[in-house]
Structure formats: C-alpha cells, structure tokens
Copies of this chain bind each other. A is one copy, B any other.
Amino acid sequence: MGRDGQFDDAFRDQLEQLFRWRRDVRRFKSDPVDPALLRHLLELADLAPSVGLSQPWRFVEVEDEAARKSILASFERCNARALEGYDGDDRALYARLKLEGLRDAPVQFAVFSDEETVKGRGVGRQTMPETLRYSVVAAVYTFWLAARAAGLGVGWVSILEPKELCTALSTPDAWTLVAYLCVGYPVEEHLDPELERAGWEVRK
C-alpha cells in the first residue's frame, strides 16, 4: 500500500493520529539521536514541495557550544522583552510558560532559505518571492512529521533575533533564517498543545 500512490483507510487514520501527536516539544531527554536516522529525516525533507523546484532549504546543525550559548542568550533577551508586553495575570502566566528546549535538546538545527539560489530558475516566485521561505517551512514540517513518526520530538523556536543567529553561525548574506529546531526524544508525549495545557490559549 502506498507504493502505487494509493492509500487506504487504515493509513489515513494513522496519518490523522500523526497530525494529532505532532506536538511542539520543549522537554527533551539527553539520549543521543542516531546520525543515520537524522540523515534519513533530512533526505525526506528534500521531498517537500518547493516553488519552481527551487529546494532553497539549508539545514545547519548547531553543535558548537559557543554558538549554542549565543542562541540561548538571544532567546533570553527576546523573551525578557516579550514578557514586558504583558500585564497582571497574563504576565505571571507568561513567565511560567516553557517556550523552548534549548538547554536540553541534543540535536539542534538552524534552517535557512537561500534567497539567491539559481535552482528553479525563478519560476513561480516573481510576484510572491516569499514562496521561497514558504518552501523552507514545508521542508521543516516534512522533517517534523517524519521525526515524530520515528518517535522523536521537534520544537520550533521563534523567539530569537535572526541577525544574531546569522552572525553566530557565519551564514552567507543571502541566507534568511526561517526556523530554529530543537530535536530529541521527548520526556513526555501529549495530544494537546503545551500552551493549551498551560491555560494560555485553546484550539479551534
């Protein structure tokens, strides 16, 4: 099933479960992740749709301790500023939210869009150049779903200064930061979002 492009009810049911169990994970075990599994997940990410077949995603694994420290410092600056935007009960609640797993996630990726890629030769992105970044989002989400199906958790951290990350990682000028991913085995598994459990927001 699947190899001929046809899928059955049992698969569709499991796919729905995957969408439900795909959570943004912020609590990771320190267990290492098999590099062969990571390579396989990155290969699957290459199957994501991209505008004009441009495949502009660039996954940069962040292992260097100094780079990780700069990124954590960037998060802490941004998060302190964000906290100032809330008052009263909201502020107290925001302060208690667990928004990232930067200290614990054994594997971390910064994911960029190469805005000057010649791949695809410009097709489809003359009037909506943002579709290049959107293609990178599709690759990130492909990675995320495949990782979850393999028992791994992924957390997308967006409370960061893109410029600081580009500096910390010495990326080419034409690369735009799209996502920062924490990856590892989750401490706990949930069907409901962290922000719902914490009483911050509910799903529609």
Interface residues of A, Cβ cutoff 8 Å to B:
1-3, 5-7, 11-22, 24, 44, 46-49, 51-55, 78, 81-82, 85-86, 90, 94, 97, 99, 119-128, 130-131, 133-134, 137-138, 141-142, 144-146, 148-151, 156, 158-162, 177-179, 189, 191, 193, 195-196, 200-204
A194 CB, min distance to chain B CBs, angstroms: 9
Please determine whether A78 and B126 come into contact, CB atoms closer than 8 angstroms: yes
Q: Which residue on chain B has the smallest CB distance to residue A164?
A: B127
Residue on B with the closest CB to A176? Answer: B130
Q: How far is the CA of A123 from the CA of B82 in the complex (A)?
A: 8
Structural contact, B124 and A7, CB atoms closer than 8 A: no
Rounded to whole angstroms, the CA-CA distance of A81 and B200 in the bound complex is 47
Q: List 23 A-B contacts (CB under 8 A).
A: A2-B14, A5-B21, A7-B150, A11-B11, A11-B14, A15-B18, A15-B145, A16-B44, A16-B47, A19-B44, A22-B49, A24-B49, A51-B158, A53-B203, A55-B204, A78-B127, A81-B126, A82-B123, A85-B126, A90-B121, A97-B123, A124-B158, A126-B159
Q: Is the CB of B127 within 8 A of A159?
A: yes
In the complex, the answer to whether A13 meets B18 with C-beta atoms within 8 Å is no
Separation in Å of the A27 CB from the closest CB of chain B?
Answer: 15
- Chain B residues contacting A191 (CB-CB under 8 Å) are 5
In the complex with contacts A2-B18, A21-B5, A151-B6, A53-B196 CB distance below 8 A: yes
Q: Which residues of B sit under 8 angstroms from A160, Cβ to Cβ?
A: 127-128
Chain B residues contacting A7 (CB-CB under 8 Å) are: 14, 17-18, 148-151
B125 touches A158 (CB 8 A): yes
Q: Are A144 and B53 in contact (CB under 8 A)?
A: no
* Residues of chain B lying within 8 A (CB to CB) of residue A122: 82, 85
Closest CB in chain B relative to A189 CB, distance in Å = 5
A148: nearest residue on chain B (CB-CB)? B7
